[in-house]
Structure 1
Amino acid sequence: MNKYFLSMLTAASLCGSVAAQAAAPSTAGEPFLPSRAQFDILFPDRIPFYTYEGFTEAVRLTPGFADWGTEAQKRQEMAAFLGQIAHESDQLRAQREYKKQNWDNYCRLSDPFGCANGQQYYGRGPIQLSWNYQYKRAGDALGLDLWADPDRVARDSTVAWRTALWYWMTQPGESTQTSHAALRAGAGFGATTRAINGPLECDKPSDPDALRKNNRRADFYKHASQLFGVPLLHPLGC
């Protein structure tokens, strides 16, 4: 049995225990933050780069994220976000994209700003931010020159988490709404997958690899929802 499913069993056994219930309810206007114990249960094999401190600081710097509605709604958005991040980052083990042969493939020359000399825009961080135009947009939004220095996303834990939250809150991908907006509209967890990976996973019902990825995202999401003590937001698939 692999460590991921062992951690799921551990989380289930902790339901109702101090570790599973350690996160205090948030007050009005404040985001829900998992406790360090919950974070460790969700990501038992994460690499040192993905610090709990970097994560919590990034959440606090992202107004609107996991801080709206009821306590349950705050926890549901956090569960959805961390479920997606678990898939995208290989459970917080991928600091940089694994396939180095693809590292030079993310420069869209049709953009007026092009690509910085000597820089590569492959996936980095919890959501594996990719492409020159995405680094430019994220950097502009965060007040950082990530276009000129994309590797900062793989060197600074807080910046890495902030780029993931920036995407979650503001980028619809090839969907009609962002992941954050989809949850607020009651569209379910599956709509967040469409905002992140769109037709690559969502428009291939007979593709076994797309189905496997959808199911993996949903499994991580179920794990987080159980740990935070909230019901699932259906539909789970996109």
Structure 2
Amino acid sequence: MPRKTFRGLSLARSAVTLAVVALLATLFAVPASAADPVGRITGLGGKCVDVAGGSSANGTPVQLYDCNGSAAQNWTVAGDGTLRALGKCLDIVNRSTADGALVQLWDCGGGANQQWVVNSARDIVNPQANKCLDIRDRSTANGALLQIWTCTGQTNQKWTAAGTSGGGNPPAGGFVVSESQFNQMFPGRNPFYTYSGLTAALSAYPGFANSGSDTVKRQEAAAFLANVSHETGGLVHVVEQNTANYPHYCDPSQSYGCPAGQAAYYGRGPIQLSWNFNYKAAGDALGINLLADPWRVERESAVAWKTGLWYWNTQNGPGTMTPHNAMVNQAGFGQTIRSINGSLECDGRNPAQVQSRINNYQRFVQILGVGPGNNLSC
């Protein structure tokens, strides 16, 4: 899409302030006020915009670093359009407008080199230079320096704020993924997969994305959503697309048989629940007669999400642990893949499918402002 240009270096400060406040209210989902809390600002690799060494001295470099909740990563936007940490401003060294000019912490003076606006593409832009806050060399290493650079749309120029001054509190409602973040993850999703349906389903498994540290909670939410994204083509497909498979999912050896019909137990919902025995087990666990009425999984958003959470929290599948335990106990995202479809994908069976899941996960943890952890593959 065409990039918005900032014309006229005499842009009124009030206009800059309104732009920053509007961005925070819509993009970063924080309340607009005279001095808005932003909290941590995360970029490539889920790492944080950080003041080196936690120093408030003029000239301290601003860098990328593991998110740690310190004051050196706690940013606010002031009424004059500046971004502040440790009582000082994010500043472009020597008031430069050149590509590669580094940024630093400096006494707030209200100069054009301390003005920042965020656009709808999640670029943090200095209007005077009309350039983007950028991670030098696209590095994800701790200590990677931040600079300004011509806006390119690359991932090393994309930023997300946590949304609170503490940098780690869940959004309203308790779920660690806000509705705006959910929409960012799934811009082309089927309307069936509602955010309200997901949050309504959480009561069935209150430990989901609610166990361990804030980082672990966000990693688990990202891992679940990454896998269901892969299973459904980005939350597009509600039912299995290959109808020729439908009659295969009835196991007649089960004592209860297939009362809804031979071809009634095809894949549905975010985890693509299939087979009569899985509908029976999920329904029993959730208190819903899915064996007799499997179509509820494609009619009711909350029921669909509950079946995904049932598998995630209770089933090992071909793995050795539930996906929930894999994330809470920090066994790694790769173990969630193994528990969902390891017999077909892991140990070199289908590396492209594994990588697709990993790519989703890395993108989602970045949106949620945390690192991905270890052991991503299976």
CA-CA distance at 1:113 after TM superposition: 1.0
> For the structure 1 residues 10 and 81, does the alpha-carbon distance in structure 2 shift closer, same or farther, using more than 3 Å as the test?
farther
Letter in 2 for 1:85: V
When structure 1 is superposed on structure 2, of 52-61 and 223-232 the one drifting more is 52-61
- Indicate yes or no: 2:153 matched with 1:153: no
Distance 2:174 2:371 in 1: 18
Letter in 2 for 1:195: S
1:135–1:146 CA contact under 8 A, matched in 2: yes
Identical positions, percent: 46
How do 1:1-238 residues align onto structure 2 when only pairs under 5 Å count? Answer: 14-17=158-161, 21=163, 25-26=169-170, 32-118=175-261, 120-203=264-347, 205=348, 207=349, 210-238=350-378
**Higher strand residue share:** 2
Distance 1:13 1:50 in 2: 30
CA-CA distance at 1:186 after TM superposition: 1.8
> For the structure 1 residues 117 and 39, does the alpha-carbon distance in structure 2 shift closer, same or farther, using more than 3 Å as the test?
closer
Name the structure 2 match of 1:3. Answer: none
Helix, strand or coil at the partner of 1:150: coil
Aligned pair count?
Answer: 225
CA-CA distance at 1:117 after TM superposition: 4.1
When structure 1 is superposed on structure 2, of 117-126 and 141-150 the one drifting more is 117-126
Distance 2:358 2:296 in 1: 30
Helix, strand or coil at the partner of 2:325: helix
RMSD: 2.4
Distance 1:186 1:160 in 2: 27
CA-CA distance at 1:236 after TM superposition: 1.1
Gaps of 5+ in 2: 1-120, 123-152
Letter in 1 for 2:376: L
2:204–2:286 CA contact under 8 A, matched in 1: no
Distance 1:11 1:160 in 2: 33
Question: Deviation digits for residues 94-143 of structure 1, max 9, x if unmatched?
Answer: 10001011111101111111111435101000000010000000000000
Query: Which has the larger Rg?
Result: 2
Query: How high is the TM-score relative to the length of structure 1?
Result: 0.87
Helix, strand or coil at the partner of 1:96: coil
When structure 1 is superposed on structure 2, of 162-171 and 58-67 the one drifting more is 58-67
CA-CA distance at 1:176 after TM superposition: 1.4
CA-CA distance at 1:200 after TM superposition: 0.7
Letter in 2 for 1:237: S
Question: Deviation digits for residues 142-175 of structure 1, max 9, x if unmatched?
Answer: 0000001111100000000000000000000011
> For the structure 1 residues 25 and 199, does the alpha-carbon distance in structure 2 shift closer, same or farther, using more than 3 Å as the test?
same
2:279–2:294 CA contact under 8 A, matched in 1: yes
2:160–2:369 CA contact under 8 A, matched in 1: no
1:75–1:228 CA contact under 8 A, matched in 2: yes
Distance 2:183 2:154 in 1: 11
Helix, strand or coil at the partner of 1:138: helix
1:12–1:227 CA contact under 8 A, matched in 2: no
Helix, strand or coil at the partner of 2:235: coil
**Higher helix residue share:** 1
Question: Deviation digits for residues 20-46 of structure 1, max 9, x if unmatched?
Answer: 64897139xx95331111111100000
2:240–2:268 CA contact under 8 A, matched in 1: yes
Distance 2:160 2:235 in 1: 26
> For the structure 1 residues 120 and 189, does the alpha-carbon distance in structure 2 shift closer, same or farther, using more than 3 Å as the test?
same
Which structure is higher in RCO with an 8 Å CA cutoff and minimum separation 6? 1
> For the structure 1 residues 31 and 166, does the alpha-carbon distance in structure 2 shift closer, same or farther, using more than 3 Å as the test?
farther
Query: How high is the TM-score relative to the length of structure 2?
Result: 0.56
Question: Deviation digits for residues 64-100 of structure 1, max 9, x if unmatched?
Answer: 1011111111111101111111101111001000101
